[in-house]
Amino acid sequence: MEQQLPLDFSTPAAPTVEVLRSAKRRTISLEVQPNLRVILRAPVRCPQAVLQAFLRSRAAWMTQQLAHFRDLPPRPTLAPDAMASRQRLLGVEFAVRLAPEAPTGLCYEAGVLSLNGRHARDPQARARALIGWYRSQARTRFESLVDTWHAHPRFRRYARPPLKIRAMRSRWGSLSTRTGMTLNLLLIHAPLAAIEYVVVHELCHLRYRGHGRGFYGLLESVLPDWRARKLLLEASVA
């Protein structure tokens, strides 16, 4: 059962809350998604007044979460154009050379990525080869960064989270105590300092689940220039 619940209290740019009721649910929960969708889950017979009171009690947290997601930089597009002669790795452009008559393969050397054989002749094969190469680069570099920053005194008391890498539309990274850290494959286009910001941000979630004062205090203590790095990330994908 779904309904819209307008807020009856004053918050900056107060959103409309979607209420999802379920006969199986016994508790009330509030979720703010990266796309700024706000969902309130509740039992079927829960009175409207109780829902409004719950929202008022969570207003500050909801506003904080919405502000956090609004502040996230836009997401880049992987492999801008399979036909392009320039690509980007760690914030630095590099040339792509096509050799359709050479044996099929891929080689990166001295700032030039050579796509040979079928990779040069077929745009779809070229795109698959590029993404596969980016994924290999991301695995090597991201694992190293997680190892390096997890060794920081503020993080090493916690288990080193396993790393997953995948293309994501709504966020740069996430951390779950159950599944580990996930980093966006698209980060491989960004400068190293910007990637470090995302890694440290996610490691801070080992201590703090949300983005409250404690979270940002920890981020500041580990990475004092995190704001500059965040701006660098935003500029690199603009």
Could you report the per-residue pLDDT of 104-114, keeping only the tens digit for each?
888 888 888 88
Tell me the per-residue pLDDT of 50-100, one tens digit each, with 9 for 90 and over: 988 998 898 888 888 887 777 665 555 544 455 566 788 899 888 888 888
Show me where the domains of the chain are located: 2-70, 86-236
Look at the block and give the residue holding tokens 């008559």.
101
Query: pTM for the whole thing?
Result: 0.69
Alpha-carbon span 175 to 206, nearest angstrom: 8
pLDDT of residue 1 exceeding 60, the answer is no
Distance (Å, whole) CA 88 – CA 121: 21
Q: Name the CATH superfamily for 86-236.
A: Metalloproteases ("zincins"), catalytic domain (3.30.2010.10)
Q: How many CB atoms lie within 10 A of CB 165?
A: 19
